[in-house]
Amino acid sequence: MSQVRVHNLSISLDGFGTGEDLSFEAPFGHAGQRLHGWMFATGFGRAMFGGSGGGEGLDNAFARRHQDDDIGAEIMGRGKFWPLSGPWPDLGTEQEWRGWWGPNPPFHTPVFVLTHHPRPSIEMEGGTVFHFIDASPADALALAREAAGGRDVRIGGGPTTVGEFLAADLIDVMHVVQVPVLLGRGVRLWDGLEGLEDRYDIEAVASPSGVVHLTFTRR
């Protein structure tokens, strides 16, 4: 049975998975790069944007699980694809927003973007196809499972989307990275999830880099 997985979901000590004031200049708002600095220091993070080098230690071992061969599709929230809410503006085909990731995004699978404003799919280089759907977590997962062809489905974030899938009890494995910063404001991951520990075995591993890797495995 294929699994539904979350990887590299970075949160602050005070539980925020993204900051306030998201924009094209600041996709994580006032959080800046603080939540993901640990990842960009790993070999995985460097390679994701065409770089080389980077750490091969604990953080990298966890990070690489994000993109293993078992992943056949991703589901992401609209906020991960585009930082503003409301209908899509008509920018014309030339100016159309295609995500943050350049012409060859690091997904290489179908990606389902949850939005109340569906629009035509966008096919990118390297196998990534963005589909824009207005669907419940369960319905989106059914579509993604079908697209994944028996492989696993990654819930790619952000925190609101992951929280909704947790609340609907649709996640099998979750890897959260707690970064030692206090953002003070933004979008919390943990709201509305009282008693989540009853459904998951939780392990914690502190990294020499200062982050703590938390893994949740459904019982």
Does 90 help bind its own copies (rule: CB under 8 A)?
Answer: no
Does 173 help bind its own copies (rule: CB under 8 A)?
Answer: no
Residue 134 token pair: 């207005």
Match 């990534």 to its residue by tokens.
128
- Helix residue spans in 82-158 (DSSP H): 92-95, 137-148
Does 219 help bind its own copies (rule: CB under 8 A)?
Answer: no
Question: Taking contact as CB under 8 A, which single stretch among the options 43-51, 79-87, 151-159, 181-189 is the one that binds its own copies?
Answer: 181-189
What dihedral angle (degrees, nearest 10) is formed by the CA atoms of 18, 153, 116, 127? 100
Binder to its own copies among 173, 211, 217, 218 (CB under 8 A)? 211
Binder to its own copies among 87, 102, 118, 210 (CB under 8 A)? 210
Which CB sits closer to its own copies, 150 or 180?
Answer: 180
Does 53 help bind its own copies (rule: CB under 8 A)?
Answer: no
Cα–Cα distance for residue pair 58/44, rounded to 1 Å: 11
- Among 31, 46, 2, which Cα is nearest to 147's? 2
Residues in contact with its own copies by the rule CB under 8 A? 13-15, 178, 180-185, 188, 190-197, 202-206, 210-212, 214
